[in-house]
Structure 1
Amino acid sequence: MSSSLDTLPKIGAPATRALNIAGYTTLRQLAGTPRAELARLHGVGPKALGIIQSALEQHNLSLG
């Protein structure tokens, strides 16, 4: 699975909605963001965080 830095990975509708409402619309914007900050968003759980981290690692990036 290859992901683009200009889109969010497939993480499910609730998590995508929560990220969009919080102002995150691309994977690039999530690089360096504290994991705990994202986990506080309603709809963003461990599975979504794992998918986001994996997608970032494909670009040698990670969550904060």
Structure 2
Amino acid sequence: MVQKQSNQENELPGGLSKPAQRALTGAGLLNLEDIANIREDELKKLHGIGPHAVETLRQALQEKGLSFAKK
């Protein structure tokens, strides 16, 4: 039986497409703190992550005082 993750475990910003959400959770990126630990170019390599998802994540990171990892 598959269990749904609680909102505490999966805290991705709203506005992401389902493919983007699946790409992030499949890579173990469940919240903004996880996403802040990878570089933007690494994120773009995930199947399902397009320009809209990158911009949505960038804005959500900035709102929390975070950013993508530096190169």
Q: Return the TM-score normalized by structure 1.
A: 0.84
Match of 1:25 in 2: 30
Deviates more, 1:24-33 or 1:53-62: 24-33
Is the counterpart of residue 7 in structure 1 residue 34 in structure 2? no
Rounded Cα–Cα distance in structure 1 between residues aligned with 2:13 and 2:27: 16
Report how many residues are paired: 59
- Greater RCO, 1 or 2 (C-alpha within 8 Å, sep 6+): 1
For structure 1, which runs of at least 5 residues remain unmatched after alignment? 1-5
- Show CA shifts across 1:21-58 (max 9, x none): 11111111111410010100000011100000100001
Q: CA RMSD in A?
A: 1.2
Rounded Cα–Cα distance in structure 1 between residues aligned with 2:63 and 2:51: 19
Rounded Cα–Cα distance in structure 1 between residues aligned with 2:58 and 2:23: 17
* Misfit runs of 4+, over 4 Å: none
**Structure 2 counterpart of 1:49, from 47, 54, 63:** 54
Deviates more, 1:26-35 or 1:11-20: 26-35
Q: Return the TM-score normalized by structure 2.
A: 0.77
| Higher radius of gyration, 1 or 2 | 2
